[in-house]
């Protein structure tokens, strides 16, 4: 009986540790301004224990190899100094950090379609991307960031230059000793070749889960099942936990149909649809041992001026779903 009780206690404590260790994160959006404690308090208020900080590099078009980064023309939060200042302020509130450098293509074209037209251009892109990513890998090591994301939604770059990415990961590990991930788009992650070199399978989780105007929680849970099976299978195959590097839904009709869309002229405001889809995602994944957690997309630094009940974009701020996230994160931090 004593042995049974001891085993039960070990299992119980292990499950508690697993819950406490979930990454309950927000994607902390870069802004023109420095961050103050008042900008961080709303993050603490929803019981988030992690924040993604996102410096940016800019590229002229999908076939252009030069990434412009860390310049005076950028917003403060997009630069190295801004990234460091954001991290320092978040650290004061005991928020853990993932640094996630991202690329923006002029006119908002999808980064997954970045593809060079010559070997010379590929070589130039590789050199430029290495400069960009290593700058922030070194910063991640300097500030002891818990996580570093080596790229976001770069499907064709990864597909056509796999040897470069293998070498890049090795180079990053010479500068940064923390945990690594890559943010693969929801329809890309199965083809990403280097999960074995990283610590987490990172997915931007904009999977289609329902065609209904206002899907119920159950509708979305059912819609997740085919995706969950594949995600869990990959986790088991490569022996790595899964991290949703981004997750979230717009507060619009049919939010579960094409969750990746961000154009402003889509759908009417539907706050309940956003709540239901978010609840379903939490219910499907957060209790799984192979699931590490995730970062809600997206969280602006000026909380009182962000989101709201007339807002149709992703942010949960000042919408009913903010409380949904708050209560869920709280339950995994107790």
pLDDT at 61 (0 to 100):
96
Please state, in angstroms and rounded to a whole number, the distance separating the CA atoms of residues 96 and 81: 18
pLDDT at 274 (0 to 100):
99
List the structure tokens of 126: 């590789």
pLDDT at 263 (0 to 100):
78
List the structure tokens of 321: 């779903």
Residue 312 CA from chain centroid, whole number: 20
pLDDT at 334 (0 to 100):
64
In which domain, by residue range, is 265 found?
2-331
Written as one string, the DSSP assignment of 292-319 is EEEEEEEE-S-GGGS--TT--SS--TTS
Q: What is the mean pLDDT of each run of 10 residues along the chain (334 residues)?
A: 40 40 97 98 99 98 97 96 99 98 94 98 98 99 99 99 98 98 98 98 99 98 99 99 99 97 85 99 98 98 97 98 98 82
- Torsion (CA) 173, 175, 179, 184 in degrees, nearest 10: -70
pLDDT at 15 (0 to 100):
38
pLDDT at 10 (0 to 100):
39
How many domains are there within the chain? 1
Please state, in angstroms and rounded to a whole number, the distance separating the CA atoms of residues 302 and 54: 16
pLDDT at 8 (0 to 100):
37
pLDDT at 209 (0 to 100):
99
Q: CATH number of the domain that 285 lies in? A: 3.20.20.80
């Amino acid at each position: 009986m004593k042995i049974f009780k001891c085993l039960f206690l070990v299992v119980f404590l292990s499950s508690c540790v697993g819950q406490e260790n979930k990454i309950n994160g927000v994607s902390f959006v870069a802004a023109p301004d420095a961050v103050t404690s008042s900008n961080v308090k709303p993050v603490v208020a929803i019981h988030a224990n992690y924040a993604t900080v996102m410096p940016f590099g800019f590229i002229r078009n999908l076939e252009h190899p030069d990434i412009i980064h860390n310049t005076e023309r950028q917003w403060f939060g997009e630069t190295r100094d801004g990234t460091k200042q954001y991290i320092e302020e978040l650290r004061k509130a005991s928020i853990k950090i993932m640094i996630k450098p991202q690329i923006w293509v002029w006119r908002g074209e999808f980064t997954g379609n970045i593809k060079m037209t010559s070997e010379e251009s590929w070589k130039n892109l590789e050199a430029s991307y290495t400069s960009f990513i290593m700058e922030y890998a070194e910063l991640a090591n300097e500030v002891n960031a818990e996580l570093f994301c080596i790229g976001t939604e770069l499907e064709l770059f990864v597909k056509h230059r796999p040897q470069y990415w293998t070498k890049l990961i090795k180079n990053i590990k010479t500068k940064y000793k923390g945990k690594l991930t890559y943010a693969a788009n929801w329809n890309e992650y199965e083809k990403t070749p280097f999960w074995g070199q990283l610590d987490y399978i990172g997915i931007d989780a904009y999977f289609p889960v329902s065609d209904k105007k206002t899907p119920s929680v159950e509708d979305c849970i059912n819609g997740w099942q085919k995706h969950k099976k594949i995600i869990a299978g990959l986790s088991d195959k490569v022996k790595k936990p899964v991290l949703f590097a981004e997750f979230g839904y717009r507060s619009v009709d049919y939010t579960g149909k094409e969750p990746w869309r961000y154009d402003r002229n889509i759908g009417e405001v539907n706050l309940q649809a956003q709540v239901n889809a978010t609840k379903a995602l939490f219910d499907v994944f957060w209790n799984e041992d192979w699931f590490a957690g995730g970062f809600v997309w997206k969280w602006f630094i000026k909380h009182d001026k962000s989101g709201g009940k007339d807002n149709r974009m992703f942010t949960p701020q000042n919408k009913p779903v903010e409380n949904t996230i708050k209560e869920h994160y709280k339950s995994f931090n107790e």
